[in-house]
Amino acid sequence: MGCCFSEPVDFDGEVNLYHFDLHRAVGKGAFGKVRVVEHKRSKKLYALKYIEKAKCIRQKAVGNIIQERRLLEEINHPFVVNLRYAFQDDENCFFVLDLMLGGDLRFHLERTGHIQEEIVKFWIAELACALEYLHGQKIIHRDLKPDNILLDAMGHAHITDFNVAIHYSERRLHTSVAGSMAYMAPQVVGKKGYSWQIDWWSLGVTAYELLFHKRPFDGRSADKMTHSILKDPLVFSEDATTRCSESGISALRGFIDRDPKTRLGCNPNGQGFQDIQRHPWFAGIDWQAIEKKEVQPPFVPDMKQANFDVSHELDEFLMVEKPLTHSKRKANPDLEKMKPELRQLEEQFTVYDFANMQRISYYPHNQDITAVGRESGMTDRTMAQSATGTIVPTATIVERSQAGTPLPTDSPQQSLSRASVSRSRRSPPLHQGPSPPIPNSTNGYAI
């Protein structure tokens, strides 16, 4: 009886799919899935996000794939889902990311109805550390919401989904509409120009939703939601104080402030994060211990059950979809004969291996990447609206940018005091408008 042996893996060569054993699927999106994988040599578990090139090209998302790949290489933080490896084969692009098996906050919110204040406060403190880091790297996330916050097995919160994230400019405000509408700041939906301050608004809306299981602004249509975000007062129900302390409500009012000059977290000259740390709601928090993940989370996910939609595994079991398999690349592909989009992926979706390569910054050269042959105008992605305040996950949307808006002279600026910010980041790029986004997955990894 014959026996088949797999070829030995060259761990000293470029990372590829053969370096990993493939385990269960934990997420699904428009272009592929997220699977748990195990590195064969280190035995460490990761999340493998794979994106089918053909579907990516059909939906004109090549530019977004490349831009997300570059931004993720710049980021390494305890409360971010960090990139560990990136590579491609003939059919797919692969992101190997930190594994988060605790589920996303949308999953837990729907399961419990609302989240206790002490738990929300802990998560907001961790997420504030992550946003302060990202802004220090001159990155705006632009799509912070419960769906894009993942828990690890211990209960720590991590920001994921950077496919509409961009570098911000010190010289000009951005005007493109990007993100999920229910969490967009007035400066985004009003198209008046915005910068990093919008992430703190989204954090406040997220905290409000986790506490009260409804969003502060809603509407039956995009126009009505835009009006609500721009004009409606921030309202709390009569029983709000039974779920949230006065200091907590004060913090929510601080984050969900239409004026970015007075919004909590947005004080210029590096004082914004200190304002958050000094706020009464966060009294008693040891911020240094938080940053080091030395504080025991008040909520620990139940790891005896799946914290994601288990139906993802059934698709391949029932042969609904073509399963992911290890496959060798074609030797010496002729770039000149490739379709322009495939060639762009070959040349710009480069290999990354965190164990053997230092992270680099593409700023200020990381302009928004335009896919070859991409049509202009708005994407055909739609926004899911809620008519009654019930929870409806909103799709990530993006609209091409208008001409950049110059920064007013009295606009708040963030002091780049963090040691990790390179001194070479003095000449920011002008914003040209992003490519269409990648649809969200159901577990927050976004594919």
Q: Which residues contact 75 (CB under 8 A, 6 or more apart)?
A: 82, 83, 134, 137, 139, 162, 359
Answer yes or no: is 339 a known binding residue: no
Of residues 10, 12, 104, 143, which has the active-site annotation?
A: 143
Reduce the DSSP state of residue 210 to 3 states and report it.
Answer: helix
Active-site residue, 21 included: no
Distances from the Cα of 214 to the Cαs of 37, 156, 237, 387, 391, in angstroms?
A: 35, 23, 11, 11, 6
Q: Which residues contact 321 (CB under 8 A, 6 or more apart)?
A: 315
Exposure letters 403-422 (e unless 16+ CB within 10 A, then b)? ebbebeeeebebebeeeebe
Starting at the edge strand found earlier in the chain, the sheet holding 352-353 runs 20-28, 33-39, 45-52, 92-97, 83-88, 352-353
Q: Which two tokens stand for residue 73?
A: 């290489």
CA 215 to chain centre: 20
CA 26 to CA 101: how far, in whole Å?
A: 9
Q: Cα Rg for the chain, rounded, in angstroms?
A: 22
Q: Which two tokens stand for residue 337?
A: 């004969």
Length, in residues, of the chain: 447
Q: Which residues contact 65 (CB under 8 A, 6 or more apart)?
A: 51, 56, 93, 163, 345, 349, 438
Place of tokens 């039956």: 220
Q: Which residues are catalytic?
A: 143
Annotated binding site for ATP: 49
